[in-house]
């Protein structure tokens, strides 16, 4: 899984363009439209997460916590300020979502009520006990992904699934506990 070190502007532009592509909207041509589109209810949580992560990375821990708390208060989404998320992040809805993963790759779609985190109480944020999520992953509403597992690239996690084990790339998982229900044949 590739780590993304793009700057804040590049990440926000990629997030916004991904959202616009999902809705078949034309690309943002002007800076004013780009700025205004950041305040949509599907994009603002991404913006607040990016500001929290960037602030934390630069050593502004209090400001990072402020952005994170604002995201939780306004949009009902809690994202750890140390979780690294690649470009193209999209939240169709946010309420009740908790993201405490180590990292999430690019082009993730995460629905409402999802939990990514440790199986047990982990106030120290130990990366050995938290998920690592690949690129192009879709996580259905209400899914729980718990523990120090790895989700490969191009994985879909079904709604209300409880995933407790690592899964390879190009699969669909579902159930409680979640199991592989389909392997995708990816064209080369």
Q: What is the CATH number of the domain that holds 47?
A: 2.160.10.10
Q: Report helix, strand or coil for 81.
A: coil
Task: Give the β-pairing of 171-175 and 178-183.
Answer: antiparallel
β-bridge partners, 174? 179
Tell me the C-alpha distance between 166 and 143, whole Å.
15
Rounded to 10 degrees, the C-alpha dihedral 59/62/63/69 comes to: 130
> Does residue 90 fall inside a structural domain?
yes
- Helices and strands: H and E segment counts in the chain: 4, 14
> Does residue 188 fall inside a structural domain?
no
Buried b (16+ CB within 10 A) or exposed e, 133-163: bbbbbbbbbbbbbbbebbbbbbbbbbeebbb
Backbone dihedral angles phi then psi of residue 6, each to the nearest 5 degrees: -70, 155
Burial (CB count <10 Å: 0-12, 13-18, 19+), residue 12: buried
The position carrying tokens 């440790």 is 118
Total number of domains constituting the chain: 1
Model pLDDT for residues 112-151, shown as the tens digit of each residue: 999 999 988 877 788 889 999 999 999 999 999 999 999 9
Which residue segment(s) compose the domain that 44 sits in?
Answer: 8-182
> Does residue 147 fall inside a structural domain?
yes
- pTM value? 0.87
Tell me the C-alpha distance between 21 and 17, whole Å.
6
> Does residue 1 fall inside a structural domain?
no
In which band, very low, low, confident or very high, does the pLDDT at 3 lie, cut at 50, 70 and 90? very low
> Does residue 187 fall inside a structural domain?
no
Contact of 171 with 157, CB cutoff 8 Å? no
Model pLDDT for residues 43-97, shown as the tens digit of each residue: 899 999 999 999 999 999 999 999 999 999 999 999 999 999 999 999 999 999 9
> Does residue 2 fall inside a structural domain?
no
In which band, very low, low, confident or very high, does the pLDDT at 2 lie, cut at 50, 70 and 90? very low
User: Mind giving me the DSSP string for 157-180?
Assistant: E-TT-EE-S-B-SSEEEEETTEEE
Tell me the C-alpha distance between 49 and 35, whole Å.
16
């Amino acid at each position: 899984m590739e780590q993304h070190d793009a700057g804040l502007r590049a990440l926000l532009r990629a997030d916004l363009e991904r959202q616009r592509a999902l809705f078949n909207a034309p690309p943002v041509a002007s800076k004013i439209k780009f700025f205004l589109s950041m305040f949509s209810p599907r994009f603002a949580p991404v913006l607040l997460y990016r500001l929290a992560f960037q602030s934390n990375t630069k050593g502004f821990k209090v400001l990072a916590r402020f952005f994170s708390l604002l995201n939780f208060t306004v949009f009902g989404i809690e994202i750890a300020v140390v979780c690294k998320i690649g470009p193209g992040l999209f939240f169709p809805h946010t309420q009740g979502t908790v993201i405490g993963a180590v990292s999430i790759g690019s082009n993730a779609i995460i629905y409402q009520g999802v939990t990514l985190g440790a199986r047990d109480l982990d106030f120290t944020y130990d990366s050995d006990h938290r998920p690592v999520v690949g690129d192009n992953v879709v996580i259905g509403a209400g899914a729980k992904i718990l523990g120090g597992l790895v989700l490969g690239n191009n994985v879909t996690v079904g709604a209300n699934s409880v995933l407790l084990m690592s899964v390879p790339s190009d699969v669909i998982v579902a159930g409680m506990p979640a199991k592989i229900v389909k392997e995708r044949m990816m064209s080369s």
